[in-house]
Amino acid sequence: MNINNIKKQFPIFNNKVHNNDLVYLDSANSSQKPQMVVDRIYDFYTKEFSNVGRSVHYLAVAATNLYENTRTMMQKYINAKDPNEIVFTKGATEAINLVANTFGQKFLREGDEILLTELEHHSNYVPWHYLRKLKGVKINFAEINNDGEITLESIEKSITPKTKMIAITHLSNVTGAILPIKEITSLAHSKNIPILIDGCQGAPHLKLDMQDIDCDFYAISCHKMYGPTGLGVLYAKKKWLDTLPPYQGGGGMIREVKKEGISFGDLPNKYEAGTMATAQVIAFGESIKFLNQIGIENIEKHESELTKYGEEVLRKNNSVKLVGNPKNKGSVLSFTLDGIHAHDIATILDEDGVAIRAGHHCCQILHDKLGLSATARASLGVYNTKDDLDKLNESINKCKKIFDR
Amino acid sequence: MDLKELYQEIILEHGKNPKNLGKFENFNKDAKGNNPLCGDKVHIYLKTDENKKISDIKFEGEGCAITMASTSIMTELMKEKSETEVKELIDDFLNMIKENSELKSKNINEDDKIKLMSLSGVKKYPMRVKCATLPWHTLISAMSNKPGEVNTEKEE
Ligand SMILES: Cc1ncc(COP(=O)(O)O)c(C=O)c1O
């Protein structure tokens, strides 16, 4: 598959936005979907639909096999040891809530501490915040440096004897900083602290190997991985899924239900209560195929070249200030323009078909630290080209023209 | 869509150099408003005299050109207005923005009408309507001295 021809596989690019070609630079928010993923949803509903894991009829068996097949594909994709270490959730948000809730219930007491970073998305802060009220735990934030990075040292400094969990992002959705998660994991484990990685921005862009990273939990959002909405994946080491209590209760996750009591089912059912996002899971299998067809190494290379090009173009533009300057940077370009608020930028760019995001990107802690109320963010996906970044720059210049009248 | 209609000169001017920006000592009413999705914030300070007339009004805040211009224009207009006039103006403005109607108020002169009408460009940008209306909802809350914060996500 030729990476320069990828746009053709995404039907969305056949449409015009305000009579312009779509320049989609909001993939950190959610990625577009390739035809094969869209088709899979349609085909499943038109030819193969049935609920999974419940009935013995032909369609139910076939659907169950397809559903479980995605689990195995995902296991291989991230090199997890066991397919049962893959739990489907409604999103990365639910994956993190699952861990915060069950780990908090079982292992946390008043005075215990959880270590996050200033880069965290609200999804990796708010679920832990509940434990402040519920359990009286304390939340600490490892600080960023001037380049908008989190270093191993910053984490090391923030660990105390009371730290009972470390939860950090893999790749910042604002500064683009890629954290040294393998080193941080090994540091955490040397102090007997489990670690959760919010992999929302890592999984679509970077090669993942759970056994190599060795983290305890890794949360993934499938809609950012060219997959359907309403679906996420929690990778968790089997020892945790065996030890932690169930999260939600309901059908499918039980073994025996009596008036006097209930026993719970085995993995992976234990954490998948109720009817799951069946069509989405099955279609997500196609997203994994899509990523494998291109090859994650090729994606990394393509996106890293584009990011460098984008940085170059924007640095040359005197009115643009890039947010953060991490040495190891993923495909996120956040910026501000002198005298023009991010929302005004986004509205003006939209007129040219250039889709970016403006605001705090669910990272208020970070924006407070940076002293910015809002930033504009262009984020890349596999389908983007240098031409897209040139168009971004042209539209930015148009903002100046409008505002400097 | 017409960007020139949204970003009229009058809006850019007020956006860049907002009038009545700041705080003053002896305010007797105030309220905060915020638009959590974009991070726009305004804090409005009022002094009303014994006849319930606004004798002074200022604001602190940060936000896009539309929010800043809307707050700036609003504060200019509200000075020396009575409580009933203020309420009538707010209703009139919000109706114009939300329901496509003209301004009906007889309490403002043609110049001021033009200023207010300049904000009607947001009608074509549904995501930006909140930017224009935030200060007006915040003023309602300040006038009634309601505790708490105006939040555009809980508006309706
Ligand atoms: C870093 C990060 N964490 C968590 C999330 C939440 O993911 P989801 O909305 O799929 O639950 C996002 C997505 O916005 C994100 O960028």
Phi, psi of A329 (to 5 degrees): -120, 135
CA contacts within 13 A on the Cβ side of A214: 12
In angstroms, the CA A128 to CA A119 distance is 15
Q: What's the Cα-to-Cα distance from A111 to each of A129, A139, A161, A162, A188, rounded to whole Å?
A: 14, 10, 11, 7, 19
pLDDT means over runs of 10, chain A (405 residues)? 83 95 98 98 97 89 96 98 98 98 97 98 97 96 97 98 98 98 98 98 98 98 98 98 95 89 90 95 98 96 97 95 97 95 95 95 93 95 97 96 87
Q: From residue B41, how far is each of A377, B27, B34 by CA, in Å?
A: 20, 19, 4
- A344 to chain B, closest Cα gap in Å: 6
**Is the domain covering A3-30+295-404 a CATH 3.90.550.10 domain?**
no
Shortest-distance Cα residue to atom 15 of ligand 1: A200
Inspect the interface and report whether the beta carbons of B41 and A403 lie closer than 8 Å. Answer: no
Q: How many domains is chain B built from?
A: 1
* CA-CA-CA-CA dihedral for B147, B22, B38, A196, to nearest 10: -80
pTM recorded for the entire structure:
0.93
The answer to whether the CB atoms of A342 and B1 lie below 8 A apart is: no
Half-sphere exposure of A373 (CA within 13 A, CB side): 17
Q: A27 in ligand 1 pocket by Cβ < 6 Å?
A: no
Residues of chain B whose C-beta is under 8 A from some C-beta in A? 1, 3-4, 6-7, 9, 12, 16, 37-41, 62-66, 125, 127-128, 131
Pocket lining: A388 vs ligand 1, CB cutoff 6 Å: no
**B38 to A343: CB separation less than 8 angstroms, yes or no:** yes
Q: Which residues pair with A116 in a beta bridge?
A: A141
Q: Helix, strand or coil for residue A224?
A: helix
Residue with the two structure tokens 């320069």 = A4
Length of chain A: 405
Q: Residue A308: which residues within 8 A CB-CB, separation 6 or more?
A: none
- Mean predicted lDDT score pLDDT of chain B: 88
Ligand 1 geometric centre to CA of A121 (Å): 7
Q: What is the DSSP string of A140-171?
A: EEEPP-TTS---HHHHHHH--TTEEEEEEESB
Cα(A199) to centroid of ligand 1, in Å? 9
What pLDDT does residue A86 have? 98
Q: Pairing relation of β-strands A113-117 and A163-169? A: parallel
pLDDT band at B50 (very low <50, low <70, confident <90, very high): confident
Residue B114 Cα to ligand 1 midpoint, Å, equals 43
- Measured CA to CA in angstroms, residue B132 lies from A97, B99, B123 at distances of 36, 14, 10
Q: Which pLDDT belongs to residue A53?
A: 82
The residue-averaged pLDDT of B84-104 equals 88
* Residue B156 confidence (pLDDT) above 50: no
Indicate the top mutation candidate among A31, A117, A123 to test ligand 1's pocket, ranked by most ligand atoms within 8 A of CB: A123
Establish if B15 belongs to a structural domain: yes
In a domain? residue B155? no
Instruction: Single out the residue of A135, A119, A69, A123 nearest to residue A95, CA to CA.
Output: A123
Peptide bond just before B126 cis, omega within 30 deg: no
At residue B155, the pLDDT reads 43
Residue B50 lies in a domain: yes
A163 C-beta closer than 6 A to ligand 1? no
- ipTM greater than 0.90, yes or no? no
| Tokens 């890794």 belong to residue | A218
Question: Using an 8 Å Cβ cutoff, are A18 and A351 in contact?
Answer: yes
Kindly indicate the confidence band of residue B40, based on its pLDDT and cuts at 50, 70 and 90: confident
**Does the distance separating the beta carbons of B128 and A347 come in below 8 Å?**
yes
CB pairs under 8 A between A and B: 52
* Residue B79: inside a domain: yes
Coil, helix or strand at residue A86: strand
The amino acid sitting at A281 is V
Quick check: CB of A120 below 6 Å from ligand 1? no
- 3-class DSSP state for residue A331? coil
Contact by Cβ (8 Å): A270, A264: yes
Quick one: which atom of ligand 1 is closest to the CA of A169?
A: 1
* CATH classification of the domain holding B9: 3.90.1010.10
Tokens standing for residue B64: 């896009």
A209: Cα separation from own chain's centroid: 16
Is the C-beta atom of A89 inside 6 A of ligand 1? Answer: no
Indicate if A362 belongs to the active site. Answer: yes
A92 Cβ inside 6 Å of ligand 1: yes
Residue A405 confidence (pLDDT): 75
The pLDDT-based confidence of B153 (bands split at 50, 70, 90) is low
pLDDT of residue B105: 81
Contacts of B127 in chain A (CB under 8 A): 347
Asked whether residue B148 carries a pLDDT value surpassing 90, the answer given is no
CATH number of A38-292: 3.40.640.10
Tokens for A343, please give them.
């929302």
Chain-chain contact of A341 with B7 (C-beta, under 8 angstroms): no
Domain that holds residue B106: 3-150
What 8-state DSSP symbol labels residue B82?
Answer: B
**Inside any domain, residue B156:** no
Please choose, from the candidates B23, B31, B42, B2, the residue with its C-alpha nearest in 3D space to the C-alpha of residue B131: B42
Q: Which value, in Å, is the radius of gyration of the alpha carbons in chain A?
A: 22
Closest CA to B54 of B21, B36, B30: B30
Nearest CA in chain A to B7: A402
Of ligand 1's listed atoms, the one at least distance from the Cα of A90 is: 11
In chain A, where the domains are located: 3-30+295-404, 38-292
A339/B39 Cβ within 8 A: no
